[in-house]
């Protein structure tokens, strides 16, 4: 999401707004944890 607000502002000539909100949390499976830790 880095750079998104800058790009949006650029293509809309500064006439747009953008915000982010936390939707929630979800338990991560052990398999996914292992994949993330290995890189």
How far is CA 29 from each of CA 3, 26, 36, 39, rounded to the nearest angstrom? 30, 9, 11, 16
pTM of the model: 0.42
Phi and psi at residue 33, to the nearest 5°: -60, -45
Task: State residue 20's pLDDT score.
Answer: 85
Contacts 24+ apart (CB under 8 A), 19-23: none
Number of folded domains that form the chain: 1
Domain with 21 in it: 4-38
How far apart, in whole angstroms, are the C-alpha atoms of residue 9 and residue 3?
Answer: 10
- pLDDT tens-place string over residues 1-36: 678 888 988 999 988 888 888 999 999 999 999 999
């Amino acid at each position: 999401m880095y750079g998104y607000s800058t790009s949006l502002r650029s293509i809309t000539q500064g006439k747009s707004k953008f915000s982010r909100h936390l939707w929630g949390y979800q338990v991560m499976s052990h398999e996914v944890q292992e994949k993330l830790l290995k890189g």
